[in-house]
Amino acid sequence: MKKTILSLSAMALLSSTAFANTNSEIAELKEKLADIESNQQVLIDETSSLKTGFDTVDISFSHNGMGPAASKVYSSKTPLSIGGYGDIYVKSPDKGQGKAKADVNHFVAYVGYKFSDSIILNTELEFEHGGSNAEAAANGGGKNNAAAEGYAIAEFMYLDFLIDKTFNVEIGKTLIPMGLINLRHEPVLFNTIHKPLVELFIIPSTWSATGVNSYGSFDDIGISYNAGITQALELNNADNGTSSQIENSVASPTGKTNIVKVAFVGRLDYTGVNGLLAGASIYYGDATQGSVRGSSALIYDIHAVYQLSGFKLKALYSASSISNAENIASKIDSNPNSSMKSSNGYYVNIEYDVLASFETTQKFPLFIQYDHLNPAATVVDKFGVTTGSNIGETTTTTFGVNYFPQEQVTFKLDYAMTNFATASKIDYNTLSVALGFLF
Amino acid sequence: MRHNTIKIIASSLLAFTLFSGCNGDSVADANNAKAKLGKALFLDKNLSYNGTMACATCHDLNHAMVDSRTASFNNGASTGADGTSISNRNAPTAAYAAFSPDFGVDEEGEYIGGEFLDGRAKDLKAQAKQPLTNPVEMNSSIKGVVSAVKADTTLNAQMKTIYGVEIFDDNNRAYDAIADSIATFEETVEFAPFDSKFDRWNEGSYTFTPQEAEGKKLFEGQGQGRGEGRARCIVCHPINEYHPTFTDYSYDNLGVPVNTVLHGVNGVTAVDNGLGGRKDINNGLLYGAFKVATLRNIAVTGPYMHNGIFKKLKTVVHFYNTRDTGGINPETNATWGAPEVPLTVNHTELGNLGLSDAQEDAIVAFLKTLTDKKFEHLIP
């Protein structure tokens, strides 16, 4: 069929040439021929894609700030889209922090489906720490359980109603559009093996919740936004101490979860300068579910990413403030009752790809990251007495290297030096290696 | 389209505004009111049957929440409200008691937590109920305690304000409220200021003396093995956290001898089997096991051990160091007596630590740094 089209086109061109009497006409015909050849290649590519039913991921593509694999359905040429990512790491801490551990940290499948050009289903099906098993489940395994051996969850599952470049609506369980890691958590998108503490304990990545989120972008001025209503945190359900209270307050990823109270989530990013992303995000709303009343949470971050040649700089500051946290302290399951009232932290990550000046698709970025977290800068007891605290205050300096033999595949090596503000807690170092991929 | 955008954003902002909600002062106020009432009850001698003894008698707020009476110190246990009855166990400090987890079983199947030396009270509230009616302590009754509170105009009003005007209609309910208030008071910062030299060191504002630092090293563990100069106190008194309470709340038989002085004055002859002897536990493997004590304020909360047999902290350290090696009790100049419950004694972690006299002194020096600021003047 394609050969027939090509032959007919060539014949038409030749017959036209017979009547051509100027050089300009010949040049015009050559140009048309080139266009036809180009279009033919496009047809060949698309036909090939239809035959295999699988699109390759475009590593540079991002929809609404998400990573390329999570965004895949939006650029898919077929209704059904399958993508994914995974990572395995081995870490070896010193100074009594336990034995070396291997962890099939994530295996994730993104399954998307285009019901139409304007209604899209996007899902992330995640197996973490090797998945789940009956014994672990019987022992209370789960994402928010310290004894978790692994779990399988729908990290997100939403319908996206594409209305306009400037306004679209996601409904369902979505990623909370905060910080740098939460929306882009595929392992090839950040250079450390373990996520920065700030984006675990203040922005509890990977944080997803049920709600409604609107988003859009104004390309002419380089602005994009998110604004939505989402399931509130449940700080009164966290019984693992004030330093991990936000981390453990995210709605459980499995089972039926409380959504009696909700919160506003918003994000604004500016990309009007080449290589720059700068923005901020906010969560404001209830801090609790259930019977604890009158306590609200404000969590925000400001972030920036700047890339120039082989250099990349990432920086993020985040903080939280819980109003009337004594209400939570009065109900929380700890002895005696206390609750986190504020937290803050930041990190700076600088990387340089030493292969940037070579003509190769491989990358070899060296990096260093400074990550400082004070997850419970102030705590309050049930009597309303607020005290400054450095419980859990941690500084981690990480340096290492990534190797990308191909842009979708990475090998990582890093060395993290963890220092505690509390003198009685023993500082330690961790050597880790990992592989990661997305497709 | 743009109108829809505006609607969504407007809705979001409206919700955003509404979430600021009411303030929660009432919750803290209610807890403070309970604590205030609890303190008054804690100090009220009228809660005893004859008006001579309060909770604070055995848990002196000015003496690290232990019994500061000389007779109690000398005997090793407290004298009751009747002036003649003497308990068979040393009253533990009430300071930092709120941090004990509720009595239960940990992930390894071991008993932990609870209040009292044998954990028989699940929590502070359950604990607060018992001494009031214990014949060898305050010797009152539920009815007697409630009547005393009801008769006090101020306490009566506070009780009704906090727990409702009908609170005195039911003695058991009123008694429960009284215990609730006392327990709430024991959760206040007055019982747990975390301002000792250790805490100041932990936060970077105090530097240990060389002897204290040496004691800390020994406390955490030095040397190669049993009998080679390591204390390893942290096995039961963990330290590696923000506000350590220096106990893992487990139960152990330390091989403590019978306090013959105490038995001489209270007339008890029965073996005290501790946790294992509880009727609801009744486990021979746990005979002689008592709850690991907090070391907060340990330098000023003598006498020591569950039966108050030792009067000086150095003696306790020396006991752990030489119990199994024929050591001499410096308070009696005799060998350590036989364990009251010999079959279940922990010989693995203590009894022969191989510490020198100077090392024992260093550990004591470190332990003194665990004293709350307001009690530092009590350090002997």
HSE toward the beta carbon, residue B188, CA cutoff 13 A:
19
Region A286-292: mean pLDDT is 89
Would you place residue A148 in the very low, low, confident or very high pLDDT band (cuts 50, 70, 90)?
low
Residue B192 has what pLDDT?
96
Rg (CA), chain A: 26
Residue A138 has what pLDDT?
57
Residue A30 has what pLDDT?
84
Would you place residue A39 in the very low, low, confident or very high pLDDT band (cuts 50, 70, 90)?
confident
**Which residue of B4, B12, B198 to mutate against A (max A Cβ within 10 Å)?**
B12
Q: How many whole angstroms separate alpha carbon A363 and alpha carbon A405?
A: 7
A44 and A60 share one domain: no
Shortest CA gap B261–chain A (Å): 36
| A385 has a pLDDT exceeding 70 | yes
- 3-state per-residue secondary structure call for B173-194: HHHHHHHHHHHHHCCCHHHCCC
Cα dihedral B61→B315→B244→B365 (10° resolution): 90
Are the CB atoms for B121 and B115 separated by under 8 Å?
A: yes
Q: Which helix (H) or strand (E) element contains residue A374?
A: strand A365-381
Both tokens assigned to B255: 């091989």
Residue A13 has what pLDDT?
46
Q: Is B2 on the interface with A (CB under 8 A)?
A: yes
Of B4, B28, B99, the CB nearest to A384: B28
- Look at B24 and A229 and tell me if their CB atoms are within 8 Å: no
Residue with tokens 């563990």: B221
Q: Is A129 on the interface with B (CB under 8 A)?
A: no
Burial class (CB in 10 A: 0-12, 13-18, 19+), B202: buried
Both tokens assigned to B113: 């937590």
Cβ-Cβ contacts under 8 Å for A148 (sequence gap 6 or more): A129, A136, A141, A142
User: What is the mean pLDDT for each group of 10 consecutive residues in chain B (380 residues)?
Assistant: 47 46 69 97 98 97 98 97 96 97 92 97 97 97 98 98 97 98 96 96 95 94 57 90 92 97 96 97 97 98 97 98 95 96 94 94 98 98
Shortest CA gap A131–chain B (Å): 23
A153 and A115 share one domain: yes
Residue A147 has what pLDDT?
44
Helix, strand, coil % over all residues of chain B, rounded to 5: 45, 5, 50
Q: Which helix (H) or strand (E) element contains residue A22?
A: none
* A433 three-state secondary structure: strand
A417-420 contacts, C-beta under 8 A, 24 or more apart = A418/A394, A419/A394, A419/A395, A420/A393, A420/A394
Residue with tokens 């309970």: B34
Q: Is B319 left (phi over 0), alpha (psi -120 to 50) or beta?
A: alpha
| Domain end position, chosen among A34, A52, A70 | A52
| A149 has a pLDDT exceeding 70 | no
Instruction: Residue A149: list chain B partners with CB under 8 A.
Output: none
* B117 three-state secondary structure: coil
Instruction: Residue B35: list chain A partners with CB under 8 A.
Output: 383
Q: How many whole angstroms separate alpha carbon A237 and alpha carbon B22?
A: 21
A6 and A58 share one domain: no
Per the prediction, chain A carries an average pLDDT of 88
Residue A34 has what pLDDT?
84
HSE toward the beta carbon, residue B152, CA cutoff 13 A:
17
Rg (CA), chain B: 24
- Look at A423 and B204 and tell me if their CB atoms are within 8 Å: yes
- Look at B11 and A229 and tell me if their CB atoms are within 8 Å: yes
Q: For residue A254, how many other CB atoms are within 10 A of its CB?
A: 16
Instruction: Residue A223: list chain B partners with CB under 8 A.
Output: none
Both tokens assigned to B169: 């209609």
| A129 has a pLDDT exceeding 80 | yes
Shortest CA gap A155–chain B (Å): 24
Instruction: Residue A423: list chain B partners with CB under 8 A.
Output: 201-204
| Domain end position, chosen among A52, A71, A87 | A52
Residue A6 has what pLDDT?
46
A274 and A324 share one domain: yes
Kindly report, residue by residue over A179-228, the tens digit of the pLDDT: 999 999 999 999 999 999 999 999 999 999 999 999 999 999 999 999 99
Q: Which helix (H) or strand (E) element contains residue A226?
A: strand A223-231
Shortest CA gap B27–chain A (Å): 6
A180 and A110 share one domain: yes
Residue A44 has what pLDDT?
67
Q: Is B15 on the interface with A (CB under 8 A)?
A: yes
Residue B120 has what pLDDT?
97
With b for 16 or more beta-carbon neighbours within 10 A and e for fewer, the A106-143 pattern comes to bbbbbbbbbeeeeebbbbbbbbbbbebeeebeeeebbb
| A60 has a pLDDT exceeding 80 | yes
Residue B6 has what pLDDT?
44
| Cα four-point dihedral sign B118, B122, B123, B126 | negative
- 3-state per-residue secondary structure call for A159-180: EEEEEECCEEEEEEEEECCCCC
Domain boundaries along the sequence of chain B: 25-191, 197-378
What is the CA B174 to chain-centroid distance, rounded? 25
| A45 has a pLDDT exceeding 80 | no
Cα–Cα nearest to A66, from A189, A233, A239: A189
A134 and A7 share one domain: no
Q: For residue A354, how many other CB atoms are within 10 A of its CB?
A: 12
CA distances (Å), origin B326, targets B177, B230, B334, B346 = 51, 18, 10, 16
Both tokens assigned to A85: 């990512």
Q: Where are the alpha helices (DSSP H) in chain B?
A: 2-18, 25-43, 55-58, 70-75, 124-133, 142-151, 153-163, 171-185, 197-202, 210-220, 260-266, 274-277, 313-322, 357-368
Q: Per the omega criterion (within 30 degrees of 0), is the bond before A336 cis? A: yes
Amino acid in position B6: I
A59 and A41 share one domain: no
Q: Is A213 on the interface with B (CB under 8 A)?
A: no
Both tokens assigned to B62: 């000015």
Instruction: Count how many domains chain A has.
Output: 2
The ipTM value here is: 0.82
A87-101, A145-159, A408-422, B27-41: least confidently modelled range: A145-159
A225 and A286 share one domain: yes
Q: Which helix (H) or strand (E) element contains residue A39?
A: helix A23-52
Q: Is A291 on the interface with B (CB under 8 A)?
A: no
Both tokens assigned to B43: 């100090």
Kindly identify which residue of chain B lies nearest to residue A230, measuring between CA atoms: B12
Q: Is B28 on the interface with A (CB under 8 A)?
A: yes
Are the CB atoms for B64 and B301 separated by under 8 Å?
A: yes
Instruction: Residue B200: list chain A partners with CB under 8 A.
Output: none
| Domain end position, chosen among A32, A52, A72 | A52
Q: Is B344 on the interface with A (CB under 8 A)?
A: no
Q: How many whole angstroms separate alpha carbon B48 and alpha carbon A304?
A: 67
A116 and A30 share one domain: no
What is the end-to-end Cα distance of chain A in Å, rounded? Answer: 32
Residue A378 has what pLDDT?
94
Residue B25 has what pLDDT?
54
Residue A363 has what pLDDT?
97
Would you place residue A37 in the very low, low, confident or very high pLDDT band (cuts 50, 70, 90)?
confident
Instruction: Residue A283: list chain B partners with CB under 8 A.
Output: none
Kindly report, residue by residue over A14-26, the tens digit of the pLDDT: 454 454 467 888 8
Would you place residue A146 in the very low, low, confident or very high pLDDT band (cuts 50, 70, 90)?
very low
Domain at B25-191: CATH code: 1.10.760.10
Domain at B197-378: CATH code: 1.10.760.10
CA distances (Å), origin B357, targets A232, B232, B303, B337 = 59, 16, 21, 21
**Which residue of A97, A267, A424 to mutate against B (max B Cβ within 10 Å)?**
A424
**Which residue of A293, A327, A335, A385 to mutate against B (max B Cβ within 10 Å)?**
A335
Cα–Cα nearest to A347, from A394, A309, A379, A279: A394
Q: Where are the alpha helices (DSSP H) in A153-244?
A: 198-201
Are the CB atoms for B291 and B251 separated by under 8 Å?
A: yes
Tell me, what CATH number does A146's domain have? 2.40.160.10
Region A362-368: mean pLDDT is 98
Altogether, the residues listed in chain A come to a count of 439
Of A214, A294, A336, the CB nearest to B187: A336
Instruction: Residue A340: list chain B partners with CB under 8 A.
Output: none
Residue B224 has what pLDDT?
45
- Which residue range is the domain that position A28 belongs to? 1-52
